[in-house]
Amino acid sequence: MHDLFYIFTLSRLAASSHGSHRCIVTATTPLLFKVSQVICAEPLKKKKKVDPQVLRHREERKKKKIEKAIKRLEKNASQLKPIDEIDVPLSLLQEKEMRTRTNPFISEVEEDYRSDLLKRWCQYKQQQSVTEVFMIDTLQESVNRALEELHKESEDLWLEAIQIDPFLIPFHAKGPVRTPPIKDYDAPDGEYINETKKWE
């Protein structure tokens, strides 16, 4: 075993003395072979000589191809992508006269009445909003004072009082709407089919 190790050591020294030549190293045992990077290298491939006229012809073809693409882009630059949502269907253009409505005549007295009614309605809604805000602030202040007094009396009762009432969550309110309801109206549920055309 010592003789074998001595032989490998001599072979390593001999290989290292030759500089950057190829060498196979067995560091620990004869079964462990390490290949140097020089063995993995390949000789450089010889460059093929290409005729300069062929190179010039290739460059001219690339240049023509790029110029052709630029001309095609410049030609289509002024053309915009059509938007179907903006284009009016031909059937609606044909029914334009049938669908045209004439506005009813409104006298000057009626216009003054409507404008005065709108002003009074705005004043009423403003006063209503101010009253509601004042009432909410008053109630909130009363609740805070009551909770402070309750906290002084009993902390357990105060902790119970500040808990959220689960029966107040399913709250429903119905009030006046801006437009009257449409009878037998099937409201959309939000689903839609995307039919947008893709342009390249």
Q: What is the pTM of this model?
A: 0.35
- pLDDT tens per residue, range 129-182: 999 999 999 999 999 999 999 999 999 999 988 888 777 777 777 888 888 888
Domains in the chain: boundaries: 2-40
| Distance in angstroms (rounded) separating the CA atoms of residues 91 and 114 | 37
- pLDDT tens per residue, range 45-57: 777 777 888 888 9
- pLDDT tens per residue, range 25-42: 555 555 556 656 555 666
- The full 3-state SS of the chain, as one line of letters, equals CHHHHHHHHHHHHHHHHCCCCCCEECCCCCCCCEECHHHHCCCCCCCCCCCHHHHHHHHHHHHHHHHHHHHHHHHCCCCCCCCCCCCCCHHHHHCHHHHCCCCCCCCHHHHHHHHHHHHHHHHHHHHHHHHHHHHHHHHHHHHHHHHHHHHHHCHHHHHHHCCCCHHHCCCCCCCCCCCCCCCCCCCCCCCCCCCCCCCC
